[in-house]
Amino acid sequence: MNILIIGSGGREHALAWKLKQSARVAKIFCAPGNAGTAGLGENIALEAADISGLVDFAKSRAIGLTVVGPDDSLALGIVDAFEAAGLKIFGPRASAARLESSKAFAKDFMKRNGIPTADYKEFTSSSDARAWCRAAKYPLVVKADGLALGKGVIIAQNSTEALHAVHQCMDDGVFGEAGRKIVIEEFLEGVECSIHALVDGSSCLLFPDCRDHKRALDGDQGPNTGGMGTISPCGSLDDELTSRVKTEVLDRFVAGLKKDGIEYRGMLFPGLMLTADGPKVLEFNCRWGDPETQVLVRRLGSDLLDLLIATVEGTLPQQSPEWRKSSAACVILASGGYPGPYEKGKSISGIGAADALPDVVVFHAGTKSVDGTVQTNGGRVLGVSALGSDLPEARKKAYAAADLIFFDGQQRRNDIGACAA
C-alpha cells in the first residue's frame, strides 16, 4: 500500500518512521515533508493547504491511505475532499475538526455533554472583554478562538496582562482571524497531562499518557510555544485517574458526537489538567500532537497502519496494540528566537552521530536539504528522542544525543521531564 502523509514537522517524520516499519507499506510520500522524511520515502512539492493538488496526486499514485498531520488542513476540509473523491484518509471532517479550530465551539460541546473543563466566557467585542477583565479574579487565561499554531494562549496574572492580551488578540490582530473571537477562562491549578485516543465514530482506543513542555524556557518560563519536549509516561496518571479520563472525557465525548450528529474518525488529543477535583479538559486537538507523537511512536510495539485502517473502517474494538514498558523522552532543538522571529538556513551538524546512539532516534521538523547538507527551515528544528528503562535513563540518553548536534543560534530546554510528578 502506498501512503501519503500531509505535513512537514516532527509529527509527520515520526509517523513516517513508524509506518515504514509495516510490512504492508510499499512506499511513503510526504507533502511537503522535510529532510528527515526524504530519507524514508519521497517528498512531494505540494503544500498541506493545496487540497485539490493533494487529491489529484493521491489519485495519480494509487495512494491507499492518506494521513493528515496539521490542524489547518483538517479545518480546510481535506478529509471531506478526499472522501468525496473516493480516497481513504485518516482524520476528522471539517465539521468535526471545529472541536479544535474553534475553542468556543469546543467549550460549548464540553458544557452540553458534561465533560469537565474550566469555567469560561466568550467575546466578540474587545470593549466587552476588557470590561469583564477589569472585574475578574486572577490569574485567568485568554485564548484566541481559532488556530494559532499552539501559541494563542496567554496566562494573565493580573488585569494589566489580561487587557494587553485582549488588545493583542482582538485589536492588534497578532493571531489574525483566529483572535477576532476570544475565550477567557478560569486558570486551573494542577499537573498538565496529554492523552491521545483513536476514535472510529462509535468507540475509542486510549493511548499511553504523555506530557508536553509548552513554555520556551527552563522552569516553565517564557512564552508559549508549539512544544519544547515531551515525556511518556508522565508519571501523574494512575489507574484511577486513567479510568476517570476514560469515563468522564472520552466516553462522554463519543456520546456527545452521537447526540450532536457529528461523525468523527481520527485522533483525539485532549490536553488535560489534573486538578484536585479530577481531570479537566484544557482543549481538544483533532490530530496527533507534536512533539507528543515523537514519544508515542517510540513506545508503540504494534503496527501503526493496522490502527489507522481500523479507525477509518470503524473496527477499533478489534485492535489490542502492544506498548513497550520503556519510558521515552524527546528534547526539541529550536532556532534562536523561537517562538518569535528566527533565521533559517543554518547548517546542522551531528545528526548522524546522535542517531547512531543506542535507543535514540532524531526526528526532523524544521529542516531542509540543500546540496547534500541539512539546514534549519523552521522554529522547531529537530526532536531528539530516546527510550530508557525509566524516565531518568531516557532523559540522559536524549540529552547526550542532543549534545552532539549543533547549529548556529540553537536553543533548547534543559529540564524536559526533570520535574515529572
Q: For the segment 216-256, what is each residue's pLDDT rounded down to a tens digit?
A: 999 999 988 999 999 999 988 889 999 999 999 999 999 99
Position of cell 517510540? Answer: 298
Q: How far is Cα 46 from Cα 43, in angstroms, rounded to an integer?
A: 9
Q: Is 411 in contact with 336 (CB distance < 8 Å)?
A: yes
Position of cell 476517570? Answer: 244
Q: Is 289 in contact with 226 (CB distance < 8 Å)?
A: no
Sheet holding 327-334, edge to edge: 211-212, 229-232, 327-334, 380-388, 360-364
- pLDDT, position 421: 43
Q: What is the mean pLDDT of residues 151-180?
A: 89
Q: How far is Cα 247 from Cα 18, in angstroms, rounded to an integer?
A: 30
Q: For the chain, what is the mean pLDDT?
A: 95
Q: How far is Cα 92 from Cα 266, in angstroms, rounded to an integer?
A: 5
Cell of 221: 518560563
Select from 3.30.470.20, 2.60.40.1120, 3.40.640.10, 2.130.10.10 the CATH code of 191-402.
Answer: 3.30.470.20
Q: How far is Cα 152 from Cα 172, in angstroms, rounded to an integer?
A: 13
In whole angstroms, how far apart are CA 377 and each of 8, 331, 347, 360, 381?
10, 18, 10, 22, 7
Residue range 125-180 in CATH 3.30.1490.20: yes
Q: How far is Cα 118 from Cα 113, in angstroms, rounded to an integer?
A: 14
Kindly report whether the peptide bond that precedes residue 317 is cis, defined as omega within 30 degrees of 0. no
- pLDDT, position 148: 79
pTM of model > 0.85? yes
Q: How far is Cα 308 from Cα 314, in angstroms, rounded to an integer?
A: 10
Phi-psi group of 377: left, alpha or beta (phi > 0 → left; psi -120 to 50 → alpha; rest → beta):
alpha
- pLDDT, position 147: 85
Q: Is 182 in contact with 170 (CB distance < 8 Å)?
A: yes
Which is nearest to 283 in space by CA: 398, 143, 74, 86?
A: 143
pLDDT in tens, 292-324: 999 999 999 999 999 999 999 999 999 999 999
Q: What is the mean pLDDT of residues 199-219?
A: 95
Which is nearest to 385 in space by CA: 96, 10, 118?
A: 10
Residue range 2-93 in CATH 2.40.40.20: no
Q: What is the mean pLDDT of residues 29-36?
A: 98
The neighbour count for residue 193, using CB atoms within 10 Å, is 24
CA angle 182-186-188, nearest 5°? 125
Q: Is 211 in contact with 273 (CB distance < 8 Å)?
A: no
Beta pairing partners, 215: 224
Considering the chain, what percentage of its residues have pLDDT values greater than 90?
91
Q: What is the mean pLDDT of residues 342-365?
A: 98
Which is nearest to 229 in space by CA: 149, 339, 364, 332?
A: 332
Q: Is 328 in contact with 232 (CB distance < 8 Å)?
A: yes
**Domain locations along the chain:** 2-93, 125-180, 191-402
Confidence band of 150 (pLDDT split at 50, 70, 90): low
- pLDDT, position 152: 84
SS3 content of the chain, % helix, strand, coil (to 5): 35, 30, 40
Cell of 77: 476540509
pLDDT in tens, 94-107: 999 999 999 999 99
Q: How far is Cα 301 from Cα 169, in angstroms, rounded to an integer?
A: 43
- pLDDT, position 174: 84
